[in-house]
Chain A
């Protein structure tokens, strides 16, 4: 009896290994499959490519495309591992704006899209977006821009009304032409309704202010200037003041707690790039329809987020990958993506298109989001992201969070942040 058990087990192991062997043969990221070229495109969250890909496959019968969607944080970690290992990356990969600088350093692992004529596409984008995706002064084209963040300020109408503030979005926009005015509004709001927080987190405010400066932590020549740059300390102090006065919810953006706070309407404003609208809607739930609205952000336009499509060198079909990426990022397609997912196009031809500017968002009280974000995009001053930007940013975020949580004073937190950032940036 025991012998049979063991015998059966042994058979099972052999069988399992055999099955594995068969399953293994199906592996391989890109290749030629019965005459067709298989391309893979690695994205995170929703780039709106589902129907577009179907169309592309129909128009190109010799090409098959598969999408790989993973969570954003995993996506970039995996990409790093895949580049390090030299294998396993998709033929086309999306890279988010915050991570581009990091991957730009390893540009030797990517195809220079200029080799396939990408430079001809340059005029499709605003200069700042194009430059973000290039290296070596434009000689190396790392990625083609997909969407962009653009910045507005979302607010809760009913909470504003309860606090005696104007509710109409034009007037709300007039409340805060500058961030100092925004802070003043926060005070007015808190004075009349002290039980509700004015903003979800000081981190978003700080980020928005910094994103509007030309040079933040790093100067355009990539030298570290955070300790000398008054823009950084001013932004930090303003945001930290909100935190110290407990006018923020001290929430981690887009976390589960943030979702709950949205549903419970425990904060009245938040900085919202175009892609955040869907997140706010999902978190607040259907019963909040019409209660949120969108106004212009203080300080003019800004950009938060947006991505690029790049082609890793390890892929087998760089030319076809480039063609697909080029098509996906063309203004026509970006317009369609906007209609489906609300991702804001990064090309003027698209976001200035009357179809786009006429779009309203039902949930946000029929706000003309196409117009609002388009205007923001026009007026935005791009900020320079240094190569080590992603290493320095968490230092300051943590410092600001400590102030929000009441663990440190603003000056102590800032001093500590400067010290830590110094170590990381060298």
Chain B
């Protein structure tokens, strides 16, 4: 960084110039770390502390138990079930979603008439209140009177019990997630596509390259950092899935366990059940910490895999 300015005239300007160069970066990023320190790090460490105790939600600390909670977690079949569900839902909802968002962004990037209209429309699912989303999807996936089963019946398929079957529930929830977030990711890609230098497209047009080829050879590598970014954020969001499956659960937050067999209970749902319904805050904190570590690992894996894929061109 070229930090030298013209020779300072007096001491104060000299001091300001020194400060300007050396400490400004730290000053600039300080707000983030301040907010994070108080509202992010503190809860994180506090939760770690809680996970080492037998801690009841209302009654508080009942005694230090070391790693007992973690040991119990490893032996807990419900935990592994929730982990499996989370991974399955994550794959089902993210793997189709990002390419779809990419395609959608490509379509939206063209010379369209009423551009703003289409772009706003695509973002709507993310804007609608979750209460409305829950209701609509309950109507869609009802067992006896749902719209999807009605349509299936038209082509001669037996009604599916969307809430009961494991695979059906995962499909239904993934569709909810995809419906909600594809437009969001599409707009992110679209914004990134605006930064791809136009002269590269000019060159491609001159070379007579097809739209498809242009897309893969120029656009995708051009927005590679953004793609990586969305992979990470989608991974984090996917592993922390809570809202959509909770809305899908007829028992809701009061009695729901992700289905009678916990067939669609995610890790965060399990965390919530243990902490806010059964009041076992210590165990809940343990789940939270393990989840955090799992997310770290999976995000890391996804990042390196995607980086390799998106780097051609």
Contacts and interface: CB of A to CB of B under 8 A. Distances in A.
In the complex, A touching B (Cβ < 8 A): yes
Interface of A: 72-74, 77, 80-81, 83-84, 102-103, 105-106, 109, 249, 252, 255-257, 260-261, 264, 266, 390-391, 394, 397-399, 401-402, 405-407, 424
Interface residues of B, number: 27
B58 A106 contact: yes
Given A252-B250, A257-B250, A407 B164 contact: yes
Nearest to A251: B250
Given A257-B144, A401-B260, A405-B161, A84 B60 contact: yes
Interface stretch (B18-26, B38-46, B171-179, B251-259): B251-259
A407 B276 contact: no
Contact of A257 (B59, B143, B253, B257): B143
Interface string B140-176: 0011110000000000000001001000000000000
12 contacts: A77-B276, A81-B57, A84-B57, A102-B279, A109-B58, A252-B250, A261-B145, A264-B144, A398-B262, A402-B261, A405-B164, A406-B164
Contacts of A266: 144
Contacts of B34: none
Given A80-B276, A405-B161, A405-B164, A73 B138 contact: no
Contact of A402 (B161, B255, B260): B260
A391 B278 contact: yes
A253 to B, nearest CB: 9
Given A264-B145, A405-B161, A407-B164, A398 B57 contact: no
A125 B136 CA distance: 44
Contacts of B257: 394, 398
A74 B60 CA distance: 21
Given A73-B252, A252-B250, A406-B164, 19 more contacts: A73-B253, A77-B253, A80-B58, A84-B57, A103-B58, A105-B59, A106-B59, A255-B138, A257-B138, A257-B143, A257-B144, A260-B142, A261-B144, A261-B145, A264-B144, A394-B255, A397-B255, A398-B261, A402-B260
Contacts of A73: 252-254
A256 B135 contact: yes
B194 interface: no
Contacts of A264: 144-145
B139 interface: yes
Query: What are the 4 tightest A-B residue pairs by CB atom distance, in nearest-first order?
Result: A73-B254, A401-B260, A252-B250, A255-B250
